[in-house]
């Protein structure tokens, strides 16, 4: 063999040896079938146990492993909705690496994968061929907290072409997330677009502020403001900075009859406490699966003992909670206290846990009451 032929043979062997291995076959997860069943898969050859944990399951579901180390399980059928899930691999919680749809949170331990089970007919939160509102991200200077802060603002279809003033809702998020979550996970803008198109609500602005006075840090208790200081700081910012900023930059009504406050979980507790403490600012209040604090009960006691009749001050007090929610007993007791004190309100007891499936529906159900087509206005 010539020297050149030998060299060529060695180069060929080297190239063959360095040729990259074929990439692994992609794993499809989750996979929905036409009947609404879902198959979840995870490639983990060295794992000894993989479990599926999801908000549509009452208990963790084990996955089965094949000879290639691919774990899988099929569940369902699922009712049309948006769900969250994660895998537990040998005791370690993880999202689905094959699914780019993620429910985000500032708490890494609560980040989950998402799956949407579609419906044959459009859901109330789906984007439809109707006029759409605009969601803006605005920054403002908070004199109360001496910092720059962010707020999301929804303006209804046609706002930018008109000249009239609109009612406004201050919509608060829950713990562990931020002011973007009512759009990203709650789809509140699409819910309102659809309700407005159906003629079920009056067009309104929705303001979604950041619900903490200072960002919670998961490092140590000393890095985080106490709950009382967080609530007090947020309340000052909302009343002294956010509301004036909105009134200076948007065409909104400035009277209490056209101003509402609502929220979920932590934000539900804030809405009830702040709304009940400030009847001069808010005429409508709604709390979804509210994380209640001592201040809410105190405000109810003061309202009942006050000179003014609470039933003449508030157009709406709306409270809802799912029966599987750990906060259900506290919310039920709040409703019972309101009844005992003779304060009119709506108590909505439904199935469901502490999930977005519940909160999206509560927002859809209460929105026509928060934005009634014909608004009763005190003193008009």
Instruction: Say whether 185 sits in a helix, a strand or coil.
Output: coil
What is the per-residue pLDDT across 44-59, written as a single tens digit (0 to 9) for each? 999 999 999 999 998 9
CA distances from 333 to 244, 341, 348, 351 (A): 35, 12, 13, 17
Say yes or no: 111 and 167 in one domain.
no
Q: What's the confidence (pLDDT) of residue 342? A: 93
Indicate the residue among 88, 117, 146 that finishes a domain. 117
Q: What is the CATH number of the domain that holds 327?
A: 3.40.50.1820
Q: What is the pLDDT of residues 107-127, one digit of tens each?
A: 666 789 999 999 989 999 999
* 350 shares a domain with 249: yes
- CA dist 278 and 266 (Å) reads 18
Beta strand spans in the chain (E): 31-32, 38-43, 50-54, 61-62, 64-65, 70-75, 81-89, 92-94, 102-103, 112-117, 134-142, 147-155, 168-172, 205-209, 259-264, 284-288, 316-322, 346-350
**Residues 56, 149 within the same domain:** no
- Residues 334-363: pLDDT tens digits? 999 999 999 999 999 999 999 999 999 999
- pLDDT (average), residues 214-234: 67
**Is residue 122, in this structure, part of any structural domain at all?**
no
- What pLDDT does 296 receive? 87
Residues 168 and 283 in one domain: yes
Provide the sign of the torsion angle of the four alpha carbons 77, 93, 174, 159, taken in this order: negative
Residue 177 token pair: 């997330």
Q: Would you say residue 74 lies in a domain? A: yes
Same domain, 106 and 158: no
> Is residue 148 one of the residues assigned to a domain?
yes
158 lies in the same domain as 256: yes
The pLDDT value given to residue 219: 43
Pick from 199, 190, 201: which is nearest to 128 by CA? 190
SS3 assignment, position 117: strand
Among residues 59, 89, 117, the one where a domain terminates is 117
When divided into structural domains, the chain yields a total of 2
Whole-number average pLDDT of the chain = 89
Assigned domain for 102 exists:
yes
Spatial contact of 265 and 182, defined as CB atoms under 8 Å apart: no
pLDDT band at 24 (very low <50, low <70, confident <90, very high): low
Q: Please say whether the beta carbons of 14 and 47 come within 8 A.
A: no
In b/e form, how buried is each residue of 140-164, taking b as 16+ CB within 10 angstroms? bebebbeeebebbbbbbbebeeeee
Q: Is the peptide bond before 77 cis (omega within 30 degrees of 0)?
A: yes
Q: Are residues 172 and 86 in the same domain?
A: no
Residue 10 lies in a domain: no
Q: For 17-23, what is the mean pLDDT?
A: 52
* Residues above pLDDT 90, as percent of the chain: 76
Q: Poorest-confidence range of 149-153, 279-283, 326-330, 372-376?
A: 372-376
**Judgement on whether residues 183 and 257 belong to the same structural domain of the protein:** yes
Q: Decide if 112 contacts 86 (C-beta within 8 A).
A: yes
Whether the Cβ atoms of residue 245 and residue 140 lie closer than 8 Å to each other = yes
What pLDDT was estimated at residue 378?
A: 36
Q: Residues 285-319: pLDDT tens digits?
A: 999 999 987 778 888 988 888 878 889 999 999 99
Q: Are residues 193 and 243 in the same domain?
A: yes
The answer to whether residue 285 sits within a structural domain is: yes
The H-or-E segment that residue 196 falls in is helix 188-197
Q: Do residues 92 and 41 share a domain?
A: yes
Q: Is residue 85 in a domain?
A: yes
What are the φ and ψ backbone dihedral angles of 63, each rounded to 5 degrees? -95, 155
| Distance between CA atoms of residues 346 and 344, nearest Å | 7
* pLDDT at 217 (0 to 100): 60
Q: Is residue 128 a part of any domain in this protein?
A: no
> How is residue 80 written in tokens?
């049309």
Q: What is the CATH number of the domain that holds 32?
A: 2.60.40.10
- Residues forming beta bridges with residue 64, ordered by sequence position: 72
* Cβ atoms 275, 310 nearer than 8 A: no
Residue of higher predicted confidence among 111 and 267: 267
> What pLDDT band is residue 376 in, cutting at 50, 70 and 90?
very low
The pLDDT of residue 189 is above 70: yes
| One domain for residues 77 and 216 | no
Q: Higher-confidence residue: 58 or 205? A: 205
CA 181 from chain centre, in angstroms, equals 5
Range of the domain at 249: 134-370
Q: Given 117, 146, 178, which residue is the final one in a domain?
A: 117
Together in a domain, 235 and 323: yes
- What is the C-alpha to C-alpha distance for residues 272 and 293, in angstroms, rounded to an integer? 10
Q: Quick check: helix, strand or coil at residue 335? A: helix
Q: Which pLDDT score, from 0 to 100, does residue 23 have?
A: 54
């Amino acid at each position: 063999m010539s020297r050149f032929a030998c060299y060529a043979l060695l180069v060929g062997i080297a190239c063959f040896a360095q040729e990259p291995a074929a990439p692994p076959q992609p794993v499809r997860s989750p996979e929905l079938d036409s009947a609404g069943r879902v198959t979840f898969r995870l490639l983990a050859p060295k794992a000894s146990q993989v479990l599926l944990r999801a908000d549509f399951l009452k208990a963790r579901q084990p996955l089965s492993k094949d000879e290639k180390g691919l774990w899988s399980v099929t569940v369902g059928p699922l009712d049309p909705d948006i769900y969250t899930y994660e895998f537990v691999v040998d005791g370690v919680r993880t999202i689905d690496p094959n699914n780019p749809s993620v429910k985000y949170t500032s708490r890494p331990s609560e980040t989950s994968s998402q799956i949407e089970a579609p419906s044959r007919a459009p859901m109330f939160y789906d984007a439809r061929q109707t006029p759409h509102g605009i969601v803006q991200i605005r920054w403002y200077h908070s004199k109360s907290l001496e910092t720059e802060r962010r707020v999301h603002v929804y303006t209804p279809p046609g706002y930018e072409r008109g000249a009239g003033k609109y009612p406004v809702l201050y919509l608060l998020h829950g713990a562990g997330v931020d002011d973007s979550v009512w759009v990203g996970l709650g789809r509140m803008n699409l819910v309102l677009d659809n309700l407005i198109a159906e003629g079920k609500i009056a067009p309104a602005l929705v303001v979604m502020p950041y619900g903490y006075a200072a960002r919670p840090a998961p490092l140590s208790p000393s890095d985080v403001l106490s709950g009382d200081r967080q609530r007090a700081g947020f309340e000052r910012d909302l009343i002294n900075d956010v509301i004036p900023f909105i009134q200076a930059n948007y065409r909104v009504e400035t009277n209490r009859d056209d101003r509402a406050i609502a929220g979920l979980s932590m934000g539900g507790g804030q809405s009830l406490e702040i709304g009940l403490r400030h009847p001069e600012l808010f005429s409508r209040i709604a709390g979804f699966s509210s994380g209640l604090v001592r201040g809410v009960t105190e405000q109810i006691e003061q309202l009942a003992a006050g000179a003014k009749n609470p039933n003449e001050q508030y157009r709406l007090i709306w409270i809802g909670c799912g029966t599987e929610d750990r906060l259900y007993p506290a919310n039920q007791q709040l409703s019972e206290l309101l009844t005992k004190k003779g304060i009119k309100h709506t108590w909505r007891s439904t199935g469901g846990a502490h999930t977005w499936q519940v909160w999206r529906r509560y927002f859809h159900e209460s929105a026509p009451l928060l934005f009634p087509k014909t608004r009763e206005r005190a003193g008009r």
